[in-house]
Amino acid sequence: MLVTTPLAFAALGGLVWGVLGSSMPGMSASITMALLLPFTYTLEPTLAIVMLASCYIGAEYGGSVPAILIRTPGTNAAAATVLDGYEMNRQGRAGEALGISLWSGVIGGLWGLLMLVLMTEPLSRLALQFRPTSYFGLGILGLSIIASLTGKSLLKGLAAATLGLMVSTIGTDPMSGVSRFTFGSPDLLEGIAPIFVMVGLFAVTELMTRSGVKPITISAGSSIRVRLPRLPMMRKIARAQAVGCGIGSVEGLMPGAGGTLASFIAYNEARRWSKEPEKFGKGSEEGVAAPEAANNTVASTALIPLLSFGIPGSNSAAVLLGGLLIHGLVPGPRLFEENPEVVVGLYTGSFVADIAQILVGTLILPASLWLVNRPKPYLSGFILALIMSGVYTVHQSLFDLGIVMTAGLLGYFMRYFGFPVLPAVLGVVLGNLVESNYRRSLALSGGEFSIFLEDPISIVFLVLAVVVVSASLLNEWRVSAKARKERTA
């Protein structure tokens, strides 16, 4: 597929919005993508997916801007960049730190894209062997992994996932066609679209949560310019970038791990293999390069389990899954067979975004700093207006706005009481997959649950789910036992 003008504009548009959105502290990659999601509803499927994927790529770099300049990471994955990036800023080397972050992001993005192209289709062929029982087991495994890794309490994670599954049952029964939990409202006959749940739980909840947080501004921002590393510096940070790419390749394949974990592991390993480990934490260039290469690699490799099996491994991948579903695209082997132009377009658009990131990241910095320094009430009001207008364009329905605001309020209370949001989102997204394949399996077996034990793939997934939950419970028990022992000592 050639790089057409619409494809290039979609990639550049998503990239610019990703950098700008995540440059604002608190606006993570998933929130930035969730804000963009409603506006992709009317686009062609290929352009919509390219724009969302490019937004993901841009957001991973954009998060490093406030991390380096004001010691506040724009995304969770940029938290490790704070350690040395801000120290370089204090030494008057902010432009150099931003340049190393940008260059490392490009290297990580290109490496991650290579892994995505090489691994996704072969893995998707495995899904050709899947039966309804296999898909049910896969859905249960995905939910159990996410519930186990996204909070301190497994029970709260599982409760959040169950809540999402309950929301997914609203609407018309997929097997019998009978309406369920609609309370006589015709607006609920089609169920609650995951897009509205994502926007509410990610974006609206974040606005409500940060409404009481004191804003931080950047002084003398006009004097800051991105300085890309020269050849000697490129050689110096190459080892750290290789470590980051390697860690990001592995972590991206693990559901629930994401860029944050990859960044911190890459930072630690880069220090271990560095010729100057004593400089880490004091303004090390390698300390900026490793985590940035890692989280930008994850931006592509996290899409491998999504495109191969339909299981998102992070918040951002879950938003991209929502983009696929609202355009009627089903991840897995069917996507490669029925919609190959979407896959090729995704690869091409991601490549364009990775290369264009050098130019965009350099030119857009003044605009990013201007946005960060806007008065917080005005900025929050603008974002809320953007959310509402985007949601309204989907169906031109005020009812949809009510769903988004309700989801946002629910997410606020979930955060207040320590319940993770991602399992709930995945419960809504994967609910139809889990329920329809569960009931289809029982219909094939005449109601016999033994059918799930007759499929080797289903057995593997269900056993792994039990192992994940058991390991998480054991870890919680060890932590609580250690805490009790320290209190009594």
Q: What is the number of structural domains in the chain?
A: 1
pLDDT on residue 360: 84
Nearest Cα to Cα of residue 357 among 29, 56, 44: 56
pLDDT on residue 149: 59
pLDDT on residue 222: 46
How far apart are alpha carbons 262 and 314 in whole angstroms?
Answer: 12
pLDDT on residue 114: 92
* Res. 111 pLDDT band, cuts 50 70 90: very high
Looking up tokens 């991973």 gives 60
Pick from 73-87, 96-110, 443-457 the range whose average pLDDT is largest: 96-110
Q: Is the pLDDT of residue 303 over 60?
A: yes
Phi, psi angles (nearest 5°) of residue 200: -65, -50
SS3 (DSSP) at 44 = coil
pLDDT on residue 242: 92
Please write the tens of the pLDDT for every residue from 230-288: 888 889 889 999 998 998 888 777 655 566 667 877 888 888 788 888 888 888 888 88
pLDDT on residue 377: 72
Would residue 385 count as lying in a domain?
yes
The H or E element containing residue 430 is helix 422-445
Q: Is the pLDDT of residue 489 over 70?
A: no
Q: 299 is written with which tokens?
A: 């931006």
Q: b/e map of 89-125 (b: 16 or more CB within 10 Å)?
A: beeebbbbbbbbbbbbbbbbbbbbbbbbbebbbebbe
Question: What is the three-state SS of 63-117?
Answer: CHHHHHHHCCCCCHHHCCHHHHHHHHHHCCCHHHHHHHHHHHHHHHHHHHHHHHH
Mean pLDDT in residue range 193-222: 69
pLDDT on residue 257: 54
**What are the DSSP calls for 311-327, one per residue?**
---SHHHHHHHHHHHHT
How far apart are alpha carbons 21 and 407 in whole angstroms?
Answer: 21
Please write the tens of the pLDDT for every residue from 387-418: 787 777 767 788 888 988 999 899 999 988 88
Please write the tens of the pLDDT for every residue from 332-363: 777 877 888 888 889 999 899 989 888 888 88
Q: 251 is written with which tokens?
A: 């972590």
How far apart are alpha carbons 4 and 165 in whole angstroms?
Answer: 40
Would residue 348 count as lying in a domain?
yes
Q: Is the pLDDT of residue 220 over 50?
A: no
Would residue 222 count as lying in a domain?
no
Mean pLDDT, the chain, integer: 81
Name every residue whose Cβ is closer than 8 Å to that of residue 188 and which is 6 or more positions away in sequence.
170, 171, 179, 181, 182
Would residue 156 count as lying in a domain?
yes
Q: Is the pLDDT of residue 218 over 60?
A: no
Name every residue whose Cβ is closer than 8 Å to that of residue 72 and which is 6 or more positions away in sequence.
25, 66, 82, 216
Provide the CA 157 distance to its chain's centre, in angstroms.
17
How far apart are alpha carbons 106 and 298 in whole angstroms?
Answer: 12
Mean pLDDT in residue range 165-186: 84
Please write the tens of the pLDDT for every residue from 372-388: 666 667 777 777 887 78
Mean pLDDT in residue range 446-457: 86
Would residue 265 count as lying in a domain?
yes
Kindly state the percentage of the chain with pLDDT values over 70.
89
Name every residue whose Cβ is closer than 8 Å to that of residue 374 and which is 6 or more positions away in sequence.
none
Would residue 343 count as lying in a domain?
yes
Print the domain residue range for 68.
5-217+227-488
Mean pLDDT in residue range 128-134: 79
Beta strand extents in 130-183 (DSSP E only):
171-172, 179-180
Q: Is the pLDDT of residue 292 over 80?
A: yes
Nearest Cα to Cα of residue 346 among 50, 116, 15, 118: 50
Residue 327 near residue 48 (C-beta atoms within 8 A): yes
The better pLDDT of the pair 399, 225 is held by 399
Q: Supply the angle between the helices 231-252 and 94-126 in degrees, to the nearest 10.
A: 40
Would residue 166 count as lying in a domain?
yes
Nearest Cα to Cα of residue 208 among 428, 400, 411: 411
